Chain A
Amino acid sequence: MSKLTPTPGQTVGPFYGYALPFTKDNELLAPGSPGSIRLQGTVYDGAGHTIPDAILEIWQPDAEGNVVQHTGSLVRDGYTFTGWGRSAVGNTGIFTFTTVNPGPTSEGPTGKGSAPFISVAVFARGLMNRLFTRIYLPENEEALANDPLLSSLPEERRKTVIARRDPDGGLTWDLRLQGPDETVFLDFQGSSTETGAYR
């Protein structure tokens, strides 16, 4: 089968604010509903300043580890968990989601007992192309140790993709686009260059 060359990405720019956000975009579950947790964090640039114009998307399995294929993310009915949400950061660089702890999925390379994670896509003014990363739950150290991605990372970088558990049961995970604690970003094609382009 002939391979087609992918269309290039471009920055989301500064003016997505009247287009991409929508009502309850960051509420995968209604806040306060049973099993719901808050996932929050702050987005920083290379100078350690917060970024006011980034927008994040999360995509995750449900609490039992099932990949959900229900429509209705854009017009939420308040009952159906769709697994996907979007959160534009506020002026302090903070994003918030209401979601559930993702369960371990059975299809992963390690099967049941694999380390559950939330998939993340990041967009920002000044960021030429979207970035992918993951948010792992901090529990189950054995599963984390056996995870194919985490075990391929140096120790100091692993922590950038593992969330902290808050006293209220929520998760905190900060995103650093650049700098000493720069978040690990993923290349699924295996063809990225030093400047972040792809060949």
Chain B
Amino acid sequence: MTIDAHGTHRAHSAAEQNAAVQDSAVQDDAWQDAAWQDENDELVAHAEAHAAHVLDAAAESQADISAEIAALGEAYHRELKDGAAPETQPRLDFAPYRSSLLRHPTKSLHHADPETIELYSPAFGHQDVHALESDLTIQHNGEPLGERIIVAGKVLDGDGRPVAGQLVEIWQANAAGRYVHKRDQHPAPLDPNFTGVGRCITGPDGSYRFTTIKPGAYPWKNHLNAWRPAHIHFSLFGQEFTQRIVTQMYFPGDQLFPLDPIYQSIVDQDARDRLVANYDHELTQPEWALGYTWDIILTGSKRTWTENEAFGDAGDDEE
């Protein structure tokens, strides 16, 4: 990068431009801080150390991966036919997602009754999250590029009770399919007006609402020509720590669904469908943004509830 006579920064190559935009996007963001930026720098070096493994995986074709996905899907359908109950969660052991091979437990999860601390959730409130953090399109000086959308819905527990006053965090790629993360080396443009991070606290009825940009699909190195369907990452807390979940919301009709080993790690079609938002014309705002609704159901709670908690007074002590 050079600085011209007017003191304007001028990047020479696309890579330099991206680096410059990335720096400014990171510096602009009110919630960024130097400490974890350093951690990201460390991650880059480690990613390079694993490059050989990544290249091996890249030699496999989509057809190879799709055949593995199909075989696992057929075996699951035979189980269903034989009377097995449907699966509701992703498999931790799902070989088509190559990164899972050494990262899934091989012993069965141990059945345990949640005790004491596990029956409560940390409390979050408006001290933690500013109302403006739910709008990902106003975090910089200009308007981000892409299709402006509203994503809204409710967080409910397994009994249909609203999860009130709890933290929702989201992160996502920009409209071009690029994350503001140094490990994302996809040569698509960064957007100086879009970081892709949002937070909110659910309302008394469990409702959340974000204004953002529709993320693009992006390539990854699970296999050759692997592309993730467009998605928004969601992190959710319930009223008990046992309800904690991190997941991804997808958009309806994505042609990449059958090809994606992460989406397909949920082998049950009904369960997979629960991650796909609905286009909602009632939520769409004229001449402003398209609306998508997506409700999130957490597991049932184990605790005996008091009336106060059921109405959502827990978790928000703001006066």
Contact = CB atoms under 8 A, between A and B. Distances in A.
A21 interface: yes
B92 A130 contact: no
Interface residues of B, number: 104
Contact of B110 (A10, A49, A153, A197): A153
B116 A105 contact: yes
B254 interface: no
Given A18-B195, A71-B315, A196-B91, A6 B120 contact: no
Contact of B122 (A9, A84, A184, A186): A84
Contacts of B280: none
B123 A178 contact: no
B247 A17 contact: no
Nearest to A77: B127
A57 B242 CA distance: 12
Contacts of B110: 149, 152-153, 184-187
B88 A127 contact: no
Given A74-B128, A186-B112, A126 B245 contact: no
Contacts of B42: 52, 90-91
Interface string B91-131: 11110010111111111111111111110111111111100
B244 A18 contact: no
A128 B104 contact: yes
A8 B89 contact: yes
Nearest to B220: A14
Contact of B246 (A9, A152, A185, A194): A9
A71 B100 contact: no
B233 interface: yes
B112 A6 contact: no
Nearest to B183: A14
Given A10-B248, A119-B241, A128 B87 contact: no
Contact of A91 (B46, B246, B275): B46
B171 A18 contact: yes
Given A4-B158, A10-B263, A59-B121, 19 more contacts: A1-B159, A5-B270, A7-B245, A10-B90, A10-B233, A10-B246, A10-B275, A11-B97, A17-B40, A18-B26, A45-B103, A68-B123, A127-B104, A177-B103, A184-B110, A188-B114, A197-B87, A197-B89, A199-B84
19 contacts: A1-B160, A3-B158, A6-B298, A16-B233, A18-B181, A46-B102, A71-B127, A82-B122, A88-B36, A91-B45, A118-B117, A125-B103, A128-B92, A148-B115, A149-B115, A187-B110, A188-B242, A192-B111, A196-B91
The 3 closest A-B pairs by CB, nearest first: A196-B92, A126-B99, A19-B171
Interface of A: 1-23, 45-47, 49, 51-53, 57, 59-61, 67-75, 82-84, 88, 90-91, 102, 105, 107-109, 114, 117-119, 121, 123-132, 148-149, 152-153, 157, 177-179, 182-190, 192-199
